[in-house]
C-alpha cells in the first residue's frame, strides 16, 4: 500500500456536533470548469458539546470566510486537505464561505459534476463536502435556500429541493432561480440540477386532497420513455397512503434522469436523481425485468421521503435504518402490484446470490456495522437486503397490524429527527408492549445463521417433533456468536398433499392454523405438534420467514413431494432448488472423480407435473423451472469448482430439455400471444415461461428446430424481453449465428446508450471459448467508456461478476483482467472501482492454485500508487 491515509471510524466514538446549522443559504455561479459556491450558514453552538467548529471539505478551493459579514483573518482558522476548523466563534453567527470547484474534472461523480453537459449533484454519503465546507454528517439538519445562476441557452432548467420561489433573467445570457426547502434536512439530501432537459409531466391528487405536480426530466429525445416510471410513481404515492398512512408533503415532486451515476438512484428531498437506466423504458428498449426494476426503484426513492428524509439517520452506522426499512417497503409494494410469491422468490434469490456470500466472506459485517474506513463501501447487500429481512422478521413477529402501530409510533416520536436503529426497535416494542431485546442481536451480529433440522413422528402418540439447532459461523472479527431470535414458520404436509392442522404442545387452545411461526431463540429447541394423525413431511421456513441457511434430512422423495404439494409457494420453489442443487453437486463429484455422468430423470418428472398443473401462475412456473445459478451451487461446496459446476449444470439442463422436449415446445408455442406488448406482471409472466422453455431448447446442440425458434424469435419479436432472451442464447453460440445477431443488434441500437449496455453485457456473459478476448476488444469500442459507471458494470462487471466459469479460468487471466480494470478505475472513480472488487475476495473458497493467483492480484492492487480509501479498504480486508 502506498500513500493511503487509513482512518477507521467507530460507532462507539459518536459525539454530537459542536455547532448546529439552523439555515443554509447557498449561491451557485455555475460554469463547467469553475463554479463559485457561496454559503451562508446560520450557526448555533450546541450547548451540550464544546470545541471549535470543524467543517468538512474535499477538493475545494477556499476563496474567503466571513463571520457576520466581516472577513475572518487567516490566523482564526486552519485548513487541511479534509477540513476547515474555525475557533472562537460566538454562540450564534452567520458564517459566509466562498469556494471554487471544478465540476468538469469531477469523474468520481460525487459532489457537483457534469453528465452529458448538465450539472447535477450526488451528496450521499459524503459528497456535500465536495461542494462547500460544511458539517457533513446526517445529524446536522437545516432548511435550505438555494440560488443558481447559469447560462440560459445551455442550461435552461434550474432545479433544487423544495419550492421554486423566485427566478429571473440576468445579464450576458444568464438566468437564475431560487428554491426553498421548508423541511430541515441533512446535507446528503441536498440536490441541484442545471441543464437542457425535456420534461414529462403529470399530477397526483392525494387522499387528503392535495395536488402534487409530478415531473420527470430527461435528455431530449427520451420523453417517450417516461410513462412507465411516472405511472409507478403515482401508484407508489397511492400505496404509501393506503398501506402506511403516509402522504407526500410538498406540492412538487421532481425526478431527473442522468446517464452518469454511481448507483441506481438518490432520494434527495423532492428532487430525486436517477441513473437513466432506472427510469427510461419502452417496449423496444427495456426488458420485463427492467420494467419491474424501474417500478421498484421509483417506489423505493419515493418511500424514502418518509423513511430516510422526514426521519433520517443519526450517523452512517445507522444506514440500514433507512435502507433496510425502505427496501422492505418497496418489496411489499412490488408484491402488492405483482405476484407476492414470485417477488419473494426473486428477493431470496438475490439475498442468496449477493448477501449470503458477502456475509460468509472477508467483508462480512452486521446490518449495523461498528467500524468503517470508507462509508461508500457500506452500501451493501447486507445493509439493504439483510436489513430488509430483519424488518420483515419484526413484522412476522408482531403481525401486520402490530408492525403498522410500531411504524406510526416511530413517526409520531421522530419526525424531523436524525435517529438510530435502536429508536426504531424501541418504537416497535412500545407500540406493541413486547420485548425485542433478544431480537436486537440481528443488528449487531454478522453472519448467516445455519439451522439444522431433524424430526420424528410418534405413531403411538400421534405427535410430530421438530428439532432445531442453530449456529452462526464466525465471520471476520466476530467471535462468540450467540443464538438469535429466529421466527420460523412451519407447516406439516399430509400424504394427500394437504396441510395438516397444527396444534403445538402446550398451546392446545389455538386451532385451525396450518402454518405457524415458531419462536426459535435458543441454540437447540424442539417443538412438538400433537394430534397429528399421519406421518407428514414438514415444510420449514415457509415464505423464507428468516434469512438463514437451512439444512434438512429430506430424502429425494420428500423434496419431490414438496415440489408438487407444498401450499407455500416459496417452499415449493425452494424444494425444487434444493433438489436441483443436490443433483448438480452429485454430478460435480462424478466429474471430479473422472467417472461417467449419469442423468437422473426423477427431477424432470417432478417438473413435468408442475408444467401439467394448469392452476400454476406462469411467472411462478418460470421460477420453478429456473435452475439454481452456478454461483449458488458452488457456494455449497467446501472448495468451489466453478468449471465442474458449470459442466454439471449444463448436463442437467440438457437432460431435462431432452426429456421434456415436447412439453417445452408446447409451453413455447401455446404461450404465444398476438396482442401488443404490455409490461404488466401477467403478460411478463407469460413471456418468462416461454423464454425459460426456449432456454431449455437452446441447450440442445444439433437441434435445428430449437435453433430455428431462437433465431426466429430474435428476428420477429416486437419487444426487448423476447429479443434479448434470444440474443442471450445466440451470443453463447460459436460461429456465424451469434455474430450475425450481435452485429444486427449493434446496428439497430447504436444510438441508444442504455441498450448498448445490454449489448456489452450479453457478450461479457457469453459461453463462447474466448469471452475474455471479446471483452477486451470491446473496451476500445466507441460506445464504451471507463468514465460511465453503467458501461463499466455492463462490460467489466458482467464478466467478472456474472460469468464465474470464465472469470475463474485456470490460467488466472480473469483475475488479472479484473485487477487491471480496478487499478485503472481507481484514478477515475474509486467507488465504482471498489464495487467491482468483491469477486477477488472469494479466494478462500478456491483451491490452492486459484487462491495463489487471486491473492497475488489483490496484492498488486494494494501496491498501486495513490490508492483510494475505497479500494484500499476492500482490497486489504479481502486479503487479510
Ligand atoms: N440512498 C440511495 C438509495 O438507496 C442509494 C445511493 C447511495 C445513491 C449513495 C447514491 C449514493 O436509494
Ligand atoms: Zn435507499
DSSP state of 107: -
Question: Could you tell me the sign of the dihedral formed by the alpha carbons of 585, 524, 384, 317, in that order?
Answer: negative
Percentage of the chain lying above the pLDDT 90 cut? 96
CB of 380 closer than 6 angstroms to any ligand 1 atom:
no
Ligand 1 pocket: which of 185, 258, 264, 266 to mutate (most atoms within 8 A of CB): 266
Closest listed residue to residue 154, CA positions, set 58, 32, 68, 267: 32
pLDDT digits (tens, 9 = 90+) for 388-433: 999 999 999 999 999 999 999 999 999 999 999 999 999 999 999 9
Q: Is the pLDDT assigned to residue 189 strictly greater than 80?
A: yes
Q: Which pLDDT band, with edges at 50, 70 and 90, does 2 fall under? A: very low
- The string of DSSP letters for 482-493 reads ----EEEEEEEE
Ligand 1 pocket: which of 113, 124, 383 to mutate (most atoms within 8 A of CB): 124
Q: Is the pLDDT assigned to residue 3 strictly greater than 80?
A: no
pLDDT value of position 5: 61
Cα(151)–Cα(66) distance, rounded to whole angstroms?
28
Question: How much distance in Å is there from the Cα of 483 to the middle of ligand 2?
Answer: 29
DSSP state of 64: E
Q: Is the pLDDT assigned to residue 1 strictly greater than 50?
A: no
- The grid coordinates of residue 564 equal 408438487
Nearest ligand 1 atom to the CA of 379 is 7
Tell me which H or E stretch contains 566: none
CA angle 326/332/337 to nearest 5° reads: 125
Ligand index nearest the alpha carbon of residue 328: 2
Question: How much distance in Å is there from the Cα of 295 to the middle of ligand 2?
Answer: 14
CB of 358 closer than 6 angstroms to any ligand 1 atom:
no
Q: Is the pLDDT assigned to residue 826 strictly greater than 50?
A: yes
Residues taking part in catalysis: 301
Cα(204)–Cα(231) distance, rounded to whole angstroms?
10
pLDDT digits (tens, 9 = 90+) for 760-769: 999 999 999 9
Q: Is the pLDDT assigned to residue 45 strictly greater than 70?
A: yes
Q: Which pLDDT band, with edges at 50, 70 and 90, does 484 fall under? A: very high
698 CB neighbour count, 10 Å cutoff: 24
Question: How much distance in Å is there from the Cα of 392 to the middle of ligand 1?
Answer: 21
CB of 301 closer than 6 angstroms to any ligand 1 atom:
yes
Question: How much distance in Å is there from the Cα of 423 to the middle of ligand 2?
Answer: 19
749 to 189, 492, 718, 756: CA distances (angstroms)? 35, 53, 14, 7
Minimal-distance CA residue to ligand 1 atom 12: 266
pLDDT digits (tens, 9 = 90+) for 278-295: 999 999 999 999 999 999
CB of 263 closer than 6 angstroms to any ligand 1 atom:
yes
CB of 375 closer than 6 angstroms to any ligand 1 atom:
no
3-state SS, residue 3? coil
Q: Which pLDDT band, with edges at 50, 70 and 90, does 512 fall under? A: confident
- The grid coordinates of residue 603 equal 427431477
CB contact at 8 A, 331 and 303: no
Minimal-distance CA residue to ligand 1 atom 11: 124
CB of 300 closer than 6 angstroms to any ligand 1 atom:
yes
Minimal-distance CA residue to ligand 1 atom 5: 266
Ligand index nearest the alpha carbon of residue 324: 2
Minimal-distance CA residue to ligand 1 atom 9: 124
Nearest ligand 1 atom to the CA of 384 is 4
pLDDT value of position 17: 97
- The grid coordinates of residue 875 equal 482490497
Cα(618)–Cα(621) distance, rounded to whole angstroms?
5
The ipTM value here is 0.99
Ligand 1 pocket: which of 126, 185, 189, 263 to mutate (most atoms within 8 A of CB): 263
**CB half-sphere exposure, 71, CA atoms < 13 A:** 4
Q: Which pLDDT band, with edges at 50, 70 and 90, does 671 fall under? A: confident
Question: How much distance in Å is there from the Cα of 263 to the middle of ligand 2?
Answer: 10
pLDDT value of position 361: 95
Question: 271 CB contacts (<8 Å, ≥6 apart)?
Answer: 159, 160, 161, 191, 193, 254, 256
CB of 379 closer than 6 angstroms to any ligand 1 atom:
yes
Beta strands in 284-443 (DSSP E): 312-313, 371-372, 418-419
Question: How much distance in Å is there from the Cα of 32 to the middle of ligand 1?
Answer: 25
pLDDT value of position 559: 98
3-state SS, residue 826? helix
Question: How much distance in Å is there from the Cα of 443 to the middle of ligand 2?
Answer: 18
Ligand 1 pocket: which of 262, 271, 379, 790 to mutate (most atoms within 8 A of CB): 379
Q: Is the peptide bond before 162 cis (omega within 30 degrees of 0)?
A: no
Mean local confidence (pLDDT), 108-135 = 98
Question: How much distance in Å is there from the Cα of 264 to the middle of ligand 2?
Answer: 9
pLDDT value of position 701: 86
The average confidence (pLDDT) of the chain is 97
Q: Is the pLDDT assigned to residue 158 strictly greater than 80?
A: yes
Percentage of the chain lying above the pLDDT 70 cut? 99
Ligand index nearest the alpha carbon of residue 330: 2
pLDDT digits (tens, 9 = 90+) for 626-638: 999 999 999 999 9
Question: How much distance in Å is there from the Cα of 237 to the middle of ligand 1?
Answer: 20
Question: How much distance in Å is there from the Cα of 876 to the middle of ligand 2?
Answer: 27
Question: 286 CB contacts (<8 Å, ≥6 apart)?
Answer: 225, 280, 294, 679, 720
Nearest ligand 1 atom to the CA of 323 is 4
Q: What is the CA radius of gyration of the chain?
A: 28
CB of 714 closer than 6 angstroms to any ligand 1 atom:
no
Ligand 1 pocket: which of 109, 261, 267, 377 to mutate (most atoms within 8 A of CB): 267
Minimal-distance CA residue to ligand 1 atom 6: 266
DSSP state of 677: P
CB of 122 closer than 6 angstroms to any ligand 1 atom:
yes
Nearest ligand 1 atom to the CA of 297 is 12
pLDDT digits (tens, 9 = 90+) for 545-591: 999 999 999 999 999 999 999 999 999 999 999 999 999 999 999 99
pTM over 0.90? The answer is yes
pLDDT value of position 672: 83
The region that residue 399 occupies, defined by phi over 0 for left and psi between -120 and 50 for alpha, beta otherwise, is left
Question: How much distance in Å is there from the Cα of 384 to the middle of ligand 2?
Answer: 8
Strands 211-218 and 252-258 come out as parallel
Mean local confidence (pLDDT), 44-52 = 94
CB contact at 8 A, 17 and 135: yes
Minimal-distance CA residue to ligand 1 atom 8: 266
CB contact at 8 A, 385 and 331: no
CB of 821 closer than 6 angstroms to any ligand 1 atom:
no
pLDDT value of position 243: 98
Question: 32 CB contacts (<8 Å, ≥6 apart)?
Answer: 103, 104, 114, 117, 119
CB of 347 closer than 6 angstroms to any ligand 1 atom:
no
Ligand index nearest the alpha carbon of residue 264: 1
pLDDT digits (tens, 9 = 90+) for 372-384: 999 999 999 999 9
Question: How much distance in Å is there from the Cα of 319 to the middle of ligand 1?
Answer: 10
CB of 126 closer than 6 angstroms to any ligand 1 atom:
no
pLDDT value of position 736: 96
CB of 261 closer than 6 angstroms to any ligand 1 atom:
no
Minimal-distance CA residue to ligand 1 atom 1: 266
pLDDT digits (tens, 9 = 90+) for 855-864: 999 999 999 9
Nearest ligand 1 atom to the CA of 376 is 9
CB contact at 8 A, 362 and 877: yes
Mean local confidence (pLDDT), 252-277 = 99
- The grid coordinates of residue 654 equal 440438457
Question: How much distance in Å is there from the Cα of 312 to the middle of ligand 1?
Answer: 13
Q: Is the pLDDT assigned to residue 147 strictly greater than 80?
A: yes
Minimal-distance CA residue to ligand 1 atom 3: 266
Cα(336)–Cα(681) distance, rounded to whole angstroms?
11
Mean local confidence (pLDDT), 808-831 = 98
509 CB neighbour count, 10 Å cutoff: 6
Amino acid at each position: 500500500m502506498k500513500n493511503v491515509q487509513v482512518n477507521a471510524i467507530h460507532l462507539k466514538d459518536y459525539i454530537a456536533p459542536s455547532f448546529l446549522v439552523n439555515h443554509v443559504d447557498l449561491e451557485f455561479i455555475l460554469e463547467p470548469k469553475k463554479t463559485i459556491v457561496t454559503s451562508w450558514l446560520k450557526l448555533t453552538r450546541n450547548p451540550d458539546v464544546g470545541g471549535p467548529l470543524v467543517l468538512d471539505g474535499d477538493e475545494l478551493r477556499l476563496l474567503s470566510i466571513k463571520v457576520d459579514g466581516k472577513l475572518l483573518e487567516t490566523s482564526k482558522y486552519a485548513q487541511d486537505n479534509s477540513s476547515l476548523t474555525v475557533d472562537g466563534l460566538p454562540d450564534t453567527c452567520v458564517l459566509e464561505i466562498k469556494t471554487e470547484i471544478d465540476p468538469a474534472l469531477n469523474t468520481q461523480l460525487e459532489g457537483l459534476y457534469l453528465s452529458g453537459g448538465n450539472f447535477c449533484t450526488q451528496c450521499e454519503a459524503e459528497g456535500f463536502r465536495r461542494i462547500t465546507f460544511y458539517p457533513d454528517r446526517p445529524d446536522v439538519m437545516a432548511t435550505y435556500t438555494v440560488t443558481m445562476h447559469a447560462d440560459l441557452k445551455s442550461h435552461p432548467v434550474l432545479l433544487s429541493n423544495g419550492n421554486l420561489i423566485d427566478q429571473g433573467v440576468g445579464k450576458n445570457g444568464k438566468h437564475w432561480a431560487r428554491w426553498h426547502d421548508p423541511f430541515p434536512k441533512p446535507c446528503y439530501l441536498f440536490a441541484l440540477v442545471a441543464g437542457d432537459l425535456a420534461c414529462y409531466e403529470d399530477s397526483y391528487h392525494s387522499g387528503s386532497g392535495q395536488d402534487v405536480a409530478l415531473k420527470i426530466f430527461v435528455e431530449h429525445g427520451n420523453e417517450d420513455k417516461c410513462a412507465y416510471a411516472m405511472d409507478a410513481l403515482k401508484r407508489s404515492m397511492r400505496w404509501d397512503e393506503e398501506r402506511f398512512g403516509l402522504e407526500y408533503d410538498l406540492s412538487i415532486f421532481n425526478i431527473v434522469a442522468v446517464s452518469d451515476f454511481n448507483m441506481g438512484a438518490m432520494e434527495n428531498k423532492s428532487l430525486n436523481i436517477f441513473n437513466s437506466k432506472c427510469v427510461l423504458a419502452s417496449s423496444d428498449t427495456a426488458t420485463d425485468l427492467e420494467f419491474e426494476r424501474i417500478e421498484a426503484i421509483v417506489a423505493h426513492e419515493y418511500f424514502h421521503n418518509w423513511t430516510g428524509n422526514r426521519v433520517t439517520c443519526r450517523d452512517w452506522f445507522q444506514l440500514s435504518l433507512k435502507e433496510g426499512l425502505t427496501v422492505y417497503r418497496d418489496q411489499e409494494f412490488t408484491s402488492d402490484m405483482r405476484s407476492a410469491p414470485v417477488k419473494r422468490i426473486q428477493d431470496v434469490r438475490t439475498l442468496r446470490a449477493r448477501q449470503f456470500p458477502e456475509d460468509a466472506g472477508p467483508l462480512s459485517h452486521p446490518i449495523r456495522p461498528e467500524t468503517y474506513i470508507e462509508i461508500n463501501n457500506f452500501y451493501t447487500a447486507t445493509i439493504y437486503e439483510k436489513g430488509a429481512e430483519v424488518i420483515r422478521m419484526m413484522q412476522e413477529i408482531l403481525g401486520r397490524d402490530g408492525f403498522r402501530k410500531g411504524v406510526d409510533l416511530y413517526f409520531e416520536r421522530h419526525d424531523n429527527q436524525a435517529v438510530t436503529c435502536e429508536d426504531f426497535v424501541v418504537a416497535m416494542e412500545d407500540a406493541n408492549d413486547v420485548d425485542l431485546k433478544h431480537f436486537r442481536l440481528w443488528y449487531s451480529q454478522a453472519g448467516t445463521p445455519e439451522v439444522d433440522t431433524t424430526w420424528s413422528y410418534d405413531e403411538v402418540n400421534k405427535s410430530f417433533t421438530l428439532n432445531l439447532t442453530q449456529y452462526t459461523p464466525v465471520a471476520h472479527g466476530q467471535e462468540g456468536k450467540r443464538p438469535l431470535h429466529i421466527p420460523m414458520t412451519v407447516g406439516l404436509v399430509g400424504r394427500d398433499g394437504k396441510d395438516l392442522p397444527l396444534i403445538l404442545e402446550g398451546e392446545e387452545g389455538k386451532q385451525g392454523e396450518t402454518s405457524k411461526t415458531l419462536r426459535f431463540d435458543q441454540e437447540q429447541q424442539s417443538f412438538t405438534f400433537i394430534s397429528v394423525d399421519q406421518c407428514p413431511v414438514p415444510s420449514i421456513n415457509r415464505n423464507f420467514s428468516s434469512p438463514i441457511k437451512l439444512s434438512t434430512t429430506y430424502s429425494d422423495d420428500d423434496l419431490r413431494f414438496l415440489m408438487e404439494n407444498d401450499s407455500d409457494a416459496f417452499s415449493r420453489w425452494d424444494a425444487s432448488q434444493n433438489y436441483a442443487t443436490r443433483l448438480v453437486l452429485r454430478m460435480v463429484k462424478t466429474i471430479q472423480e473422472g467417472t461417467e455422468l449419469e442423468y437422473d430423470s426423477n427431477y424432470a418428472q417432478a417438473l413435468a407435473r408442475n408444467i401439467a398443473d394448469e392452476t400454476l401462475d406462469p411467472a411462478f412456473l418460470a421460477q420453478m423451472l429456473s435452475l439454481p445459478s452456478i454461483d449458488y451451487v458452488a457456494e455449497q461446496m467446501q472448495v468451489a469448482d466453478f468449471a465442474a459446476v458449470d459442466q454439471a449444470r449444463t448436463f442437467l439442463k440438457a437432460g431435462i430439455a431432452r426429456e421434456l422436449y415436447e412439453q417445452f415446445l408446447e409451453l413455447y408455442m401455446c404461450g404465444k400471444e398476438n396482442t401488443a406488448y404490455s409490461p404488466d406482471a401477467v403478460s411478463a409472466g407469460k413471456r418468462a415461461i416461454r423464454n425459460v422453455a426456449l432456454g431449455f431448447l437452446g441447450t440442445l446442440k444439433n437441434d435445428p428446430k430449437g435453433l430455428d425458434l431462437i433465431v426466429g424469435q430474435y428476428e420477429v419479436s416486437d419487444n426487448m424481453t423476447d429479443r434479448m432472451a434470444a440474443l442471450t442464447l445466440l451470443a453463447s453460440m460459436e460461429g456465424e449465428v451469434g455474430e450475425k445477431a450481435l452485429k444486427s443488434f449493434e446496428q439497430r441500437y447504436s444510438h441508444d446508450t442504455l441498450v448498448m449496455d445490454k449489448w456489452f453485457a450479453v457478450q461479457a456473459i457469453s459461453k463462447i471459448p474466448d469471452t475474455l478476448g471479446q471483452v477486451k476488444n470491446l473496451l476500445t469500442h466507441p460506445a464504451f467508456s471507463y468514465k460511465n459507471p453503467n458501461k463499466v458494470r455492463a462490460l467489466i462487471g458482467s464478466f467478472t461478476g456474472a460469468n464465474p466459469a470464465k472469470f475463474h479460468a485456470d490460467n488466472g487471466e480473469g483475475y488479472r483482467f479484473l485487477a487491471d480494470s480496478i487499478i485503472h478505475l481507481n484514478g477515475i472513480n474509486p467507488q465504482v472501482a471498489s464495487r467491482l472488487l468483491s469477486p477477488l475476495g472469494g479466494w478462500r473458497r478456491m483451491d490452492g492454485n486459484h487462491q495463489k493467483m487471486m491473492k497475488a492480484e489483490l496484492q498488486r492492487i494494494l501496491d498501486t500508487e495513490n490508492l483510494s480509501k475505497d479500494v484500499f479498504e476492500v482490497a486489504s480486508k479481502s486479503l487479510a
